[in-house]
């Protein structure tokens, strides 16, 4: 064929290959390679093939977009109100097959149009912060999310859903949790973070069910008591199959796979609840440990304002292991870093001993860390293993680290939540050691079990 169908056309093509002819169907994308045709297949993957070995069997021209003509959702006074705060990611996006760009699909009318189940759950409105890849999100954006949640509750919303890219979703959700609950109070309503592992144009997308679960929790979930980190949660697929989403405590979850739909897994805890979704019903099932906590602990007082994060802090991170040298620590001290974080091995260790007298770098590292601590720079150790506690009481090395003043013993949150906790303490001018050793709102599971 001389020319490819126009971008956005739905086509059936016969492709000549080394193993014979094959027929494919899909939507034409901008070509990935010159003199090729690129097709998005129904399974979500893209296929490129030489134009001169492609024959068009069928082609239907792309229809003009009608999203702007979608009717506005009708307000139902019998339903709770949920505001969706959009920061980016694929959860509330769609692909424009003319440009190939992913764009925000974020007017309430469009959300209801593409996920009609939402209008049976809550009255939806929206606030757009931006369309950012989650790796580009920084503390300034945490504060923008906090601002938007405050405004939503001020304006009478029962719950809030934050759509967010998945790579740093657990970090941002932890930040919002500490902002609302770090002072011992709780948010005025439920806050659920949600993302998707597969883009909404793929047949295997998890976007719709994740969003349904998040809105269901924000609208109809139990009133948070402020414990077990239940004011701010993460709603994502429970398994790789459809039908159930886990509701995770924001500080007890982490993305542990780059592409699976059930990439978000609990860290040293278990989900607070499960939202099951089938063709006819959506149900919330609370976990036994969460049910027990709700009967054993009273609700905290509601706060109408949340804390904010200092966006100018410099927190330097280092990976413990054979390559960590004193020069890196010295440079951080000289640059006036506000805190250092060590991703420790095992139970939380760094190479600071030289038993064979052949690794002087270890003693130099110890000296550099001690110098940082002596200069009132907090040094926090988190768990490189992800699961399990930081326990510096087991080995003599851990006891040496504690004597040096290295912080972090007893931490059981995700490593990122621990770093956010450090950032929170520094931002609010609190005693860092006291905050790191405190169980502020049930984020440390070792104290929950008492």
Q: Which of the residues are catalytic?
A: 90, 166-167, 255
Specify whether the CB–CB gap between 229 and 441 falls below 8 A.
yes
The DSSP bridge pattern shows strands 10-17 and 93-95 to be unpaired
- CA-to-CA distance for 242 and 247, rounded, in angstroms? 15
DSSP string for residues in 212-271: HHHHHHHHHSPPP-S-TT-SEEEEEESSSSSSEEEEEEGGGEEE--SS-TT-EEESSS--
Sheet holding 159-163, edge to edge: 123-128, 81-86, 159-163, 190-194, 232-237, 244-249, 273-277, 282-286
- Which residues share a beta bridge with 15? 22, 54
Q: How many helices (H) and strands (E) does the chain have?
A: 11, 20
Buried b (16+ CB within 10 A) or exposed e, 62-73: eeeeeeeeeeeb
| 229: nearest Cα among 407, 422, 417 | 417
Phi, psi of 342, rounded to the nearest 5 degrees: -110, 120
Nearest to 27 by CA among 49, 14, 46: 46
Provide the pairing of β-strand 81-86 with 93-95: unpaired
Question: How distant, in Å, are the alpha carbons of 55, 147, 189 from that of 313?
Answer: 59, 20, 29
How many C-beta atoms lie closer than 10 Å to residue 96's C-beta? 14
């Amino acid at each position: 064929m001389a020319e490819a169908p126009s971008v956005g056309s739905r086509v059936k093509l016969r492709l000549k290959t080394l193993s014979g002819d094959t027929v494919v169907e899909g939507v034409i994308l901008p070509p990935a390679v010159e003199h090729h045709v690129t097709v998005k297949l129904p399974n979500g993957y893209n296929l490129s093939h030489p134009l001169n070995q492609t024959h068009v069997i069928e082609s239907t021209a792309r229809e003009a977009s009608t999203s702007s003509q979608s009717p506005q959702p009708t307000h139902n006074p019998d339903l709770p109100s949920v505001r969706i705060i959009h920061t980016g990611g694929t959860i509330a996006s769609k692909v424009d097959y003319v440009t190939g760009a992913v764009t925000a699909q974020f007017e309430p009318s469009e959300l209801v149009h593409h996920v009609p189940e939402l209008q049976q759950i809550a009255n939806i409105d929206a606030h757009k912060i931006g369309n950012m890849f989650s790796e580009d999100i920084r503390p300034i954006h945490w504060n923008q999310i906090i601002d938007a949640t405050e405004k939503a509750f001020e304006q009478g919303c029962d719950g809030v859903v934050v759509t967010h890219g998945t790579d740093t979703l657990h970090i941002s959700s932890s930040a919002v949790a500490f902002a609302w609950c770090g002072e011992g109070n709780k948010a005025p309503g439920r806050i659920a973070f949600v993302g998707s592992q597969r883009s909404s144009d793929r047949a295997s997308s998890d976007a719709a069910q994740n969003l349904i679960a998040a809105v269901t929790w924000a609208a109809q979930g139990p009133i948070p008591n402020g414990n077990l980190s239940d004011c701010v949660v993460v709603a994502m697929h429970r398994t790789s199959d459809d039908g159930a989403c886990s509701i995770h405590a924001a500080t007890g979850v982490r993305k542990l796979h780059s592409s699976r739909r059930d990439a978000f897994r609990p860290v040293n805890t278990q989900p607070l609840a499960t939202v099951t979704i089938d063709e006819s019903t959506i149900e919330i099932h609370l976990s036994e440990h969460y049910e027990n906590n709700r009967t054993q602990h009273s609700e905290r007082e509601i706060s109408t304002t949340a804390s904010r994060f200092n966006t100018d802090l410099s927190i330097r991170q280092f990976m413990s292991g054979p390559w960590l040298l004193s020069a890196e620590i010295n440079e951080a001290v000289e640059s006036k870093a506000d805190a250092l974080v060590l991703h420790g091995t095992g139970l939380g260790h760094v190479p600071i001993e030289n038993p064979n007298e052949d690794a002087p770098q270890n003693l130099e590292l110890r000296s550099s860390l001690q110098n940082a601590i002596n200069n009132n720079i907090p040094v926090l150790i988190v768990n490189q293993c992800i699961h399990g506690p930081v326990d510096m009481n087991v080995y003599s090395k851990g006891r040496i680290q504690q004597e040096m003043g290295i912080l972090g013993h007893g931490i059981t949150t995700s490593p990122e939540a621990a770093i956010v906790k450090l950032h929170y303490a520094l931002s609010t001018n609190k005693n860092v050691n006291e905050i790191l050793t405190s169980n502020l709102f049930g984020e440390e599971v070792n104290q929950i079990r008492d």
